Structure 1
Amino acid sequence: MGSLADITPPIALGALDGRYRGAVAPLVDHLSEAALNRQRLHVEIEWLIHLTTRGVVPGAGSLDEAEQQRLRGLVGAFDADAIAELAAIEAETVHDVKAIEYFLKRRLGDTLDDRGDLSELVHFACTSEDINNLSYALMVRGAVEQVWLPRATGLVDQVSQMARQLHDIPLLAHTHGQPATPTTMGKELAVLAHRLRRQLRRVEGAEYLGKLNGATGTYGAHLAAVPGADWQTISREFVTGLGLTWNPLTTQIESHDWQAELYADLARFNRVLHNLCTDVWTYISMGYFAQVRGQGTVGSSTMPHKVNPIRFENAEANLEVANALLDVLASTLVTSRLQRDLTDSSMQRNIGTALGHSVLALDNVCRGLAGLDAVPEAMAADLEGNWEVLAEPVQSAMRALAAAGVAGMDNPYERLKELTRGRRITGEDLREFVRGLGLPADVEERLAAMTPQSYVGLAPELVGHLGQPSSDQEATT
C-alpha cells in the first residue's frame, strides 16, 4: 500500500485545510505562515521608511516618495515565487526573521536601483521580537476585524431577526427540564442575541499592543548606535503609525496580555454560542422548529424520514476545539521566563487554527438557523397539555389579595400545590378551582380567562430591548 504522504499536491492533515477549507479560507490571508512573513516584510519596510524619512541616523540616505511606494509594493506583490525564495533563504539562515531581512536587502537592489547605502538600515537595532510582535498584532487584528467580527455580527443579527419575528409566539418554558412559566420563542432567542451582542462589544473594543525597543526592552542598541535620538518617541510614533497601541514597558517580547484578553472574550462568545446550539438543538428535538431539508440532502443513511440537526452539532464540536485552543493560548502567552523564552513562538502559530474552528462554527450555525421554520402548533400543543403552569399566577394573585386584607386567601401556595403537584389538570379543572376561591369578581374573571398561551407576561415587549437591526442586511429582510 502506497503512502498518502507521498501524493502531490499534499493532502491536508487537518480538517480546516481539507474538508472545511472553503469556510475558513479567508483566514489564510491573515493567520497563515505566509501571512506572517508578509506582515514581517511590511513591518521591516515601514521601519526602514520611518528611519529614513525622519533622518534618525545622521548621514544616512533617504527614500523619496516614489522609492517608498516601490518598497511598499513588495508587500502587495508577495506571491508564490516570493514565498519560495524566502523559504530557500530560511533554509540557509535557519532563522525566519533573518531570512526576511536578507530578502528585503536583495530587493533594495532590484527595486530601488541599487540603494545599497540603505542596506544596513534594514532591521536596524531590532530584535526579532520587535518585528514579530508587531506582525502578530496586525495579523490578529486583521483576522478579527475583517473575518471573524463580520461573520459573528451577521450571526447575531440573524438571531435577533428571528427573535423579532417570533416575539409573540408562546412557548412552554422548561426549567430543570420541567414545564415552567410560559414565555415566547422570540424572547428566548432575544436573550441569546443580547448575550452574544454584549460579547461582540468586548471584542470590538479590543486593544492591540505593540513594541519596538530592542533585545531586552531597553533601547540599548538604539542608544549605542545613535545616542542623540529620542528613541522612545521614535518607537511610539512608529507603533501607533501602524494603528497599534504602544507598549512602553516590555522585556524582549511584548507581554501578550492583550492577546490573552482578546482570546478570553472570543472564547466567552463561543460559549454563549454553544449554549444557543444546545438550546436550538433541543427545540428541534421537541418539534418546535422544523428543519427545511435542502434539495438532495440525506438525513440518515438508513432512516429516510430523518433530517439531523448536523449544523448545530458540527458547530458544538468546533466551538469546543476553538475554546480549548483559545484557553491554552490565553493561559500560556502571559508567561515568559525572565526576559524571553520561545514558548510563545510555537504557541502563536496556533492562533489561526483557533479562529478557524470558531469561524467554521459561525458558518454552521448561520446555515443551521437559515434552515429552520418555527412550528407554533407544536408549541401550542405543549402549552395546552400543561395547564398546571397557571398555578403560579393564581397563587400570586391570592398572595396579593391576602396582603390587601381580603378574607379566604390564606395558604395560596399550598392549595395550588395540592391541586397541581404530580398530576395534569385541564383548563376546566383550573377554572372550576378559581371560581371556588371567592375571589373579587374582576380578579376571578381575569384568572378564569387566562390560558397557558396567554400567560407570557411581558415577553413579547422584552424583545424590544434588542434595539434596531445592526446591519443593512437585517434591516431590509
Structure 2
Amino acid sequence: MFTIDAPVELQGTEYCNYRSPLSTRYASKEMQYNFSDQKKFSTWRKLWIYLAKAEKELGLDITDEQISELESAIHDIDFAAAAEHEKKVRHDVMAHVHTLAERCPHAAPIIHLGATSCYVGDNTDLITLKHGLDLLLPRLAAVISRLAKFADQYKSLPILGFTHLQPAQLTTVGKRASLWLSDLLMDERALSRARDDLRFRGVKGTTGTQASFMQLFKGDSAKVRALDKRVAELAGFDKRYLVTGQTYSRKVDLEVVAALSGLGATVHKMCSDIRLLASRKEVEEPFEASQIGSSAMPYKRNPMRSERCCALSRHLITLHANAANTHAVQWLERTLDDSANRRITLAEAFLTADATLLTLLNICQGLVVYPKVIDRHIAQELPFMATENIIMAMVQAGGDRQVCHEKIRVLSHEAGAQVKQHGKDNDLIDRVKKDAYFAPIISQLDKILDASTFIGRAPEQVTEFIEEEVDPIVSKYVCVLTEAEKPVTLNI
C-alpha cells in the first residue's frame, strides 16, 4: 500500500499536494482569479445583497443598515469558519450563510431570503462564464490582429502548397496564414455569440416555479416578476432565462464549452502546421537566445510552444464531451451529478483556453520565416509543376503538343530518378536546356520558372480578406488591443 514518504516537515505544504499545472504554469492570474474561491464567494455575497436590495425596493421589511452591513463584508470571508460549518452541515451554501450571518448579525435574518442554493451557485457560474469570455475575447483578438500583420507582410512570398502532405501548387506564406485566420474569426464569432447569449438565472426558487417568492410577496405575481428582473439588472444582465428548473439549463454550459472546444481545434490545426513547417525549416516559432531544445542534442530547436498549444488544445477538445454528457443526464428539474463534474470542466475549459491563447499570442509575436530555405524547396519541385507551362510555350513556338509531352515525360522520369534513387537535386531544367528540341524556348525558361507566376490571386485574396473580414472584427476590440497585444512572457 502506498504511504506518504515525504519528510514530516514538508507534509501538508503546497509541494506535497496536487497542484494543477493550469494554475502553476500556464493560465493567467486574471483567469485564475475568475475561478478562485475569493471571487466565487464574494460573488455569492454580492448576490445576497442584490436580492436584499430588490426585495426592499419591492416592499419587504429590510433596512438600509442591514444592507450596509452586508456590503461591508463582501470580501471579508472567514474561509476557515466556512470550512468548519461545512463539515457539520455538509452543505456549502448553508456553510457560507452561517459564516456571513456571524459576520453580519443584524442582517442575518434576511440573508438568502426566499432563495435556493442555485440562486447563488448558478448565478455566480453565469457571472463567471461571462467574465471568462470577457477575458478570452481580447486575447483572441490580439492573436488575430498580430497574425493579420504577419499574413499581410508575407502575402506575396511563394511557398510550396501541400495536399495529402504531398507538394502541390504554390501558395504564399501569407495566404496559408489567412487560412488560420479564417478559422480564428469563426472562433471569435462563436465566443462572442456565446457571451451575448448568456442570461441570468435570476430568482426562480427550488424547482423554478418561484413559489417561495410568491409566498414572500403574498401572491403578488407582478412583484415576483419585477424582483427577478431587478436582481438581474443589479447583477449586470439585461436578459434572464424566463423558465428554468432548479438550475439554468446545462445546455448553456454546453454551448460555451463547445465554442471553447472549437477554438481548441483551430489552435491544434494551426500549431500542427507550424510544427510541420518548422521541421522543413521554413517557418519557426520564436526561440530565445538561452533556450535549450534538448538535454541530449544541443543543436535542436524544438517547437515547444506549438507543442504546448497542441497538448492543451487536445484537452480542451475533450471537455466538450463532458459538457454534453452532463446536460444529457439532468433528469427532470435537476440532479446533483452535474456538480462535481462542472467544478472541474468549466474551470479547466476556461483556464486551458486562456493558457492556449497566451501561448499562441507569444508564437504569433515572434514567427520567423526563412525565405532562402523556402526558395530551395520550391526549386526542387517547381520544375515538375512547370512542365505544363513548358509544353504550352513550345506549342506557341510551333511545336507539336504530343511530341513535347512525351519529351517532358521522359525527362521528368529521369530527373525524378536522380532525386529519389540517388538523392540528388532536381535537374529537369538542366535536361530541358541540353535537349535541342527545346531550343526555341530556352530564353523563356527563367520567366516560366518564376515562382511568383504560380501563386494566382493569393496576394490579392489576403488583402481582400484582411480588409473585408479581419479588420471589422479587430476594430471591435480597438479599446483593449493595446493592453492585450503586450509582449507575452511564458512560464516555461
Q: Partner residue of 1:279?
A: 273
Residue 233 in 1 paired to residue 226 in 2? yes
Q: Partner residue of 1:102?
A: 98
Contact 2:52 2:67 in 1 (8 A): no
Q: Partner residue of 2:5?
A: 2
- Percent sequence identity over aligned pairs: 20
Query: Which of residues 192, 210, 214 is equivalent to 2:180?
Result: 192
TM-superposed deviation, 1:27 = 1.9
3-state SS in 2 of match to 1:380 = helix
3-state SS in 1 of match to 2:128 = helix
Q: Partner residue of 2:49?
A: 45
Alignment of 1:16-415 (within 5 A): 16=21, 19-20=24-25, 23-55=27-59, 57=60, 60-63=61-64, 68=67, 71-75=70-74, 77-78=75-76, 82-109=78-105, 114-115=106-107, 119-146=108-135, 148-206=136-194, 207-211=197-201, 212-225=203-216, 226-230=218-222, 231-244=224-237, 245-290=239-284, 292-350=286-344, 351-386=346-381, 387-391=383-387
Contact 1:48 1:122 in 2 (8 A): yes
Deviations 1:44-81 (A, max 9, x none): 121111111222x3xx13327xx645533432x24xx5
Provide the rounded CA distance (Å) in 2 between the counterparts of 1:19 and 1:397.
63
Contact 2:285 2:367 in 1 (8 A): yes
Give the TM-score taking structure 2 as reference length: 0.80
The aligned amino acid for 1:24 is S
Deviations 1:222-263 (A, max 9, x none): 223321242223213322442333111121111122221111
Provide the rounded CA distance (Å) in 2 between the counterparts of 1:397 and 1:340.
73
Provide the rounded CA distance (Å) in 1 between the counterparts of 2:282 and 2:208.
59
Contact 1:40 1:135 in 2 (8 A): yes
Give the TM-score taking structure 1 as reference length: 0.83
Provide the rounded CA distance (Å) in 1 between the counterparts of 2:485 and 2:348.
33
Gaps of 5+ in 2: 417-425, 488-492
Provide the rounded CA distance (Å) in 2 between the counterparts of 1:276 and 1:104.
49
Contact 2:151 2:174 in 1 (8 A): yes
Provide the rounded CA distance (Å) in 1 between the counterparts of 2:393 and 2:232.
64
Provide the rounded CA distance (Å) in 2 between the counterparts of 1:185 and 1:28.
36
Q: Partner residue of 1:426?
A: 428
How many residues are treated as equivalent by the alignment?
451
The aligned amino acid for 2:139 is R
The aligned amino acid for 1:323 is I
3-state SS in 2 of match to 1:20 = helix
- Shifted more, 326-335 versus 121-130: the winner is 326-335
The aligned amino acid for 1:104 is L
Contact 2:257 2:349 in 1 (8 A): no
3-state SS in 1 of match to 2:109 = helix
3-state SS in 2 of match to 1:145 = helix
Contact 2:265 2:313 in 1 (8 A): yes
Provide the rounded CA distance (Å) in 2 between the counterparts of 1:18 and 1:417.
60
Please state which structure has a larger fraction of its residues in helix.
2
The aligned amino acid for 2:270 is L
Q: 1:144 to 1:18 in 2, by over 3 A?
A: closer
Provide the rounded CA distance (Å) in 1 between the counterparts of 2:54 and 2:408.
78
Deviations 1:101-136 (A, max 9, x none): 223333433xxxx35xxx433212212112211110
- Note the aligned Cα RMSD (angstroms): 3.6
Deviations 1:248-290 (A, max 9, x none): 1121111122221111111111101100110001111101024
Provide the rounded CA distance (Å) in 1 between the counterparts of 2:348 and 2:433.
59
